[in-house]
Every structure is written in structure tokens, then in C-alpha cells.
Structure 1
């Protein structure tokens, strides 16, 4: 397992990323991923990820326990702190979604 990092933008590519409402221990990330893009396996030690899909379809895969969820516009899904997960575009067009991250440090811990 790799060490935690806060330099998320250098670990994987997305079409667009913006942060809104950032406060200590909480932030909202707006992310757009193309049809072949994904956010690789990772977890946060303290922060929960809650996904809200704006457009397109994303697939969230999680471990501990193993789970796979497809989300379309208007749907939400939460991943508890410490639970490994990845997010992939599950469609033929770009997918746009919000990620509410908190409460706690955003220490993106990539898995190998």
C-alpha cells in the first residue's frame, strides 16, 4: 500500500475538477470523467465520500464487503471512511458528479 497523499490531481486524469464549499474537514468536489476514465482504487482514513450524479452514469466498486453500484442522474451513494473504492464512467458519454467529502482529512490513500 502506498502512503497517503493530498496531490490527487497528479494521480489520475479527469476531464474537469472543481472544488466548492471547502472548509476544514469538508469539501465538495465536482468531477467530470470521460467514457474511458476512472478514479483508481483508494480510500480515506477519516472522510466519507458521498456521490451525487448530475449527468451520465458512473459505477462505484467497493471492497470490505465487495459491492458494485451503478448510479445515474439524481442518484446518490456513500462510501464510509476506510472502505476501498474506485469510480468509473459506465457510459459512452462523459459523466458529471459531485463528491461530498467529510468529515475529516482528505488523505487520498491509493491501493496497489
Structure 2
């Protein structure tokens, strides 16, 4: 079992993409909490999840989450978050968190409840 000393804010990049910073805050069997830092224009590529929903909480800068309905392939309204804003992306929605700028964006993501997966999505 990981202790707070050697687990809290542990940097770990994804095997699918790389961003300025991706730190684990908490990791359970069916709930995951991470902190991301994106420089201006940086993004997490389009993807979806089979079981888990995402809750985004912006702590610095601006965050935009672009969304597409997987059933219809139709674009959904983008989620625009400023500091202190949060939004949820449900299962069945392809999404792409991006820092539209200006400056650095930092956000916390809570993912659950279920088994985490990352399914790359090819737009259009």
C-alpha cells in the first residue's frame, strides 16, 4: 500500500500522451484523482472511458473541454472552466481537455466510479 510520503503528488505520464505535468493525488480500486498542468495550447488527446465519468475542477488559468456524443458522433457544447469552476463529462462522451490560454492551466480531475480505461478517439 502506498503511503502519503511516497505517493502524494507522484508524477506519472500516461502511456498514450505526455503533458507538462500529470500527478497522482489519490488512486483507489474504482476512484482516481489526478492534477494536470497544461501550458497554453497543450491538450489531453480525444478519448473516452467505458465506465468512469470525469469531474474537472480548474485551479489555475482556463480549461476548455471539447465533447462529442459517441452514439451520434455529434459535437456537444464545450465546457469552459475558469478558476473554481467544475464540470462533469459522462460515460459515452468523447472529450479533449485543452488549455486555450493565456498562460498555464492547472486542474484536478476526479474519475470514477468503476474500472479506469483510456480509449483514444479519432475525431471525424
TM-score (norm 2): 0.80
Matched, 1:15 2:20: yes
Residue pair 1:40, 1:86 contacting (<8 A) in 2 also: yes
Supply the distance in 2 between the matched residues of 1:11 and 1:23 (Cα, whole angstroms): 21
Matched, 1:105 2:115: yes
Larger Rg, first or second structure (1 or 2): 2
Question: What residue is the counterpart of 1:48 in the other structure?
Answer: 53
The CA RMSD measured in Å over matched residues stands at 1.5
Displacement after TM superposition at 1:60 (Å): 0.6
Question: What residue is the counterpart of 2:98 in the other structure?
Answer: 88
Question: What residue is the counterpart of 2:34 in the other structure?
Answer: 29
Count of aligned residue pairs for this structure pair = 106
Moved over 3 A (4+): none
Supply the distance in 1 between the matched residues of 2:80 and 2:120 (Cα, whole angstroms): 22
C-alpha deviations, 1:87-112, integer Å up to 9, x for none?
Answer: 10011211000000000111100012
- Matched residue of 2:45: which SS? strand
Question: What residue is the counterpart of 1:60 in the other structure?
Answer: 65
Moved more, 65-74 or 29-38: 65-74
Displacement after TM superposition at 1:82 (Å): 2.2
Supply the distance in 2 between the matched residues of 1:67 and 1:29 (Cα, whole angstroms): 24
Unaligned stretches of 5+ residues in structure 2: 1-12
